[in-house]
Structure 1
Amino acid sequence: MDRLEAMKVFCTVVEAGGFAAAADRLGISTSAASRHVAQLEGHLNVRLLNRTTRRVSPTDEGYAYFERCTQLLADVEEADSMVAGGAHLPRGRLRLTAPGALATLRLAPALAAFGDAHPEISLDIVLSESVVDFIEEGIDLAIRVGRVGSDNLVARRIGGAHLIAAAAPAYLSTRGTPRRPDELPAHACLTYAHAASGNVWRFQDPAGEVVEVRVAGRVHANNGVLLAEMAAAGCGITMAPDFILEPMLREGRLVPVLAEWAPPPLPIHAVYPSRRHLSAKVRAMSSFLADWFQQAPVSSP
């Protein structure tokens, strides 16, 4: 088995959402695509894909493997490009989109350092938390927190963030402090509009098992900083990445809730439309950010 080729086929199946579409992209037969993935599953002794008559989707193990394989394949292509010579040097305008809170509170130093390292690249930064049309909006690269919703995009994991549930001391003194996630439905929760899980908050119990709870409240917004500020004003309990909540936690405006039930970490991805013919400037930025996150990891909650 050619493991690198099998990984490439597996990633394409996940991106395309099925074997037939993946085979069409790769110019191979559907049976060959299926065989590559089956050999990979046999080698790993784990099921990577859930298969139904209508759709193929990754298992939890498959999604984690997909993220690592995507990064590995991108690194291989980067190595090939380096060996090929300097004909494809990164230059020109790079139009990048990222969530406002992430860009302002976490990425700004990295973007400044990238600009110093690549003076031949100009940055056009669009702050947005919405799904973007890469072609229509002229986006080269998107930075997104959490799972990427579209199977037609390549997502390279470049870092991570910790989710924290928190509330103001005044709110907790009035409404009480929840001791278990299943007590949250009795509380006012401030929910984030772009969360992939909707109003379902996920926690991990002390044994590492994932616990899901559907929450509700009177405030639902598409900006995590706004929700954090409203939580600090006593409106309820919010769940947000650490890069949003850390300053308020240090100041005592917010306190952690259910700290022993830490939510699963959130991946941070560099997202682009295709792995094929990836421009040097996009490759340079995604690799730079991956290195930057590795050198300056997100702190533990």
Structure 2
Amino acid sequence: MDQLSAMRAFVRVVETGNFTRAARSLDMSKTTVTNLVQNLEGHLRAKLLNRTTRQVAVTTEGALYYERASQFLSDLDELDGSISSSQAQPSGRLRVEMAGAFADLIVIPSLCDFYCTYPQITLDIGVGDRLVDYIAENVDCALRAGAPTDQSLIGRKVGEIGLRTYASPGFIEMFGAPQHPRDLEDKFFSVGYLNAQAGKVLPLEFRRGDESLEITPRYAVSVNDSRSYVAAALSGMGVAQAPQFMVRDAVERGDLVEVLTDWDREPLPLYIVYPRTRHLGNKVRVFVDWLVKLLKESNARDAQSPRRTMPIKVKPEAEEPAPVAVAAE
């Protein structure tokens, strides 16, 4: 029996939840995976999995074996990678997940540079902010905004996103501009950003010196995609707190202008995240290093961009109609 292959097959079955997905991710037939696991159980003289027609459940012995085996395989891959990285050009398929705005505006425009440096790496980029099953979908890593909260993931900070507060000139012409963040609670509409996982619109954050505010925005529309969020702001649907890299061109054209310029907010950290059961292989390392450089260049361009504003017009309060004098008969 090839015990190492059998261990890999068993670990993949546990992580993916069934033999079919495990076989697909290992590029093996289902029969081969089944035979490997059966041979491993025979070698160990222990039942590792309970199989039914619908699902696979791990036995107590199987759970203990999985914990040790997955760590062993991860250490083995790390050892192999540390040796081979100094001997060979990084190669293979790299599956990465990221939000569409990062892909379209930062990563994809510079991919030719990455490919020229690492021609033996094939990139599969999944676009979206959805929840990812890293193991079942064989995802190597993901670029995400905010620190990871999932304890099964390891995160490495690779950069930050600068955010400022904007509105369209048409919005300001019609309604005026907010003079204080509190105005966004009851006087002015914002564009709401809907957190699909939490099922609620995210608050707006502001900072000025030692003063910090968290505002629950008043909104007429909310969206759960960053590009749609900026599009709604451009159409005049409200004030938006948007990443600078996403609105750079719109600001330069004058399609968006900055408001509440004496307030800013903490930058949003960017992380590369990957499962604890998977080591950061050489192909992932070179991609992450390239991405860190790319994000620094993007932030440098944002820092040099002019802060376009326009005169604040305060919409006057409606006056009470003057009383009408009625002549006495």
TM-score interval, normalised by the smaller of the two chains: 0.5 to 0.7
| 1:121-164 superposed Cα distances (whole Å, 9 cap, x missing partner) | 10111111122111122211101123333232111111211112
Contact preservation (8 Å) 2:159, 2:269: yes
How far off is 1:228 after superposition? 1.4
Tell me how far apart the structure 1 counterparts of residues 173 and 85 of structure 2 sit (CA, whole Å): 64
Aligned to 1:169: 169
Q: Does 1:188 align with 2:189?
A: yes
Tell me how far apart the structure 2 counterparts of residues 236 and 295 of structure 1 sit (CA, whole Å): 30
Aligned to 1:201: 204
| 1:203-253 superposed Cα distances (whole Å, 9 cap, x missing partner) | 111x14321111131211122222212211111111211111111111111
How far off is 1:279 after superposition? 1.7
Contact preservation (8 Å) 2:106, 2:294: no
Q: Does 1:210 align with 2:212?
A: yes
Tell me how far apart the structure 1 counterparts of residues 248 and 222 of structure 2 sit (CA, whole Å): 21
Contact preservation (8 Å) 2:245, 2:298: no
Q: 1:190 to 1:83 in 2, by over 3 A?
A: same
Q: 1:157 to 1:251 in 2, by over 3 A?
A: same
How far off is 1:116 after superposition? 1.5
How high is the TM-score relative to the length of structure 1? 0.67
Q: 1:184 to 1:228 in 2, by over 3 A?
A: same
Tell me how far apart the structure 2 counterparts of residues 295 and 225 of structure 1 sit (CA, whole Å): 21
Aligned to 1:179: 179
Give the AA of the match of 1:176. Answer: G
Aligned to 1:250: 252
Contact preservation (8 Å) 2:192, 2:223: yes
From 287, 298, 310, the counterpart of 1:285: 287
Give the AA of the match of 2:116. Answer: D
Tell me how far apart the structure 2 counterparts of residues 249 and 270 of structure 1 sit (CA, whole Å): 29
Tell me how far apart the structure 1 counterparts of residues 84 and 93 of structure 2 sit (CA, whole Å): 23
Find the residue that maps to 1:211 and give its secondary structure.
strand
Tell me how far apart the structure 2 counterparts of residues 169 and 287 of structure 1 sit (CA, whole Å): 39
Tell me how far apart the structure 2 counterparts of residues 288 and 230 of structure 1 sit (CA, whole Å): 32
Contact preservation (8 Å) 1:95, 1:141: yes
Contact preservation (8 Å) 2:201, 2:222: no
Contact preservation (8 Å) 1:191, 1:239: no
Contact preservation (8 Å) 1:98, 1:128: yes
Find the residue that maps to 1:177 and give its secondary structure.
coil
Tell me how far apart the structure 2 counterparts of residues 181 and 152 of structure 1 sit (CA, whole Å): 37
Tell me how far apart the structure 1 counterparts of residues 201 and 159 of structure 2 sit (CA, whole Å): 23
How high is the TM-score relative to the length of structure 2? 0.61
Tell me how far apart the structure 2 counterparts of residues 84 and 94 of structure 1 sit (CA, whole Å): 17
How far off is 1:294 after superposition? 3.4
Aligned to 2:148: 148
| 1:95-132 superposed Cα distances (whole Å, 9 cap, x missing partner) | 11111011111122443322211111101111111221
Give the AA of the match of 2:190. Answer: C
Find the residue that maps to 1:150 and give its secondary structure.
coil
Tell me how far apart the structure 1 counterparts of residues 147 and 95 of structure 2 sit (CA, whole Å): 21
Find the residue that maps to 2:219 and give its secondary structure.
coil
Tell me how far apart the structure 2 counterparts of residues 129 and 255 of structure 1 sit (CA, whole Å): 27
Tell me how far apart the structure 2 counterparts of residues 216 and 162 of structure 1 sit (CA, whole Å): 23
> Number of paired residues?
223
Find the residue that maps to 2:192 and give its secondary structure.
strand
Give the AA of the match of 1:179. Answer: Q
Contact preservation (8 Å) 1:164, 1:245: no
Query: How do 1:63-74 and structure 2 match up within 5 A?
Result: none
Contact preservation (8 Å) 1:166, 1:254: yes
Find the residue that maps to 2:113 and give its secondary structure.
helix
Find the residue that maps to 2:215 and give its secondary structure.
strand
Query: How do 1:1-301 and structure 2 match up within 5 A?
Result: 86=86, 90-186=90-186, 187-194=188-195, 198-205=201-208, 207-274=209-276, 277-298=279-300, 299-300=302-303
Larger radius of gyration, structure 1 or 2? Answer: 2
Contact preservation (8 Å) 1:143, 1:271: yes
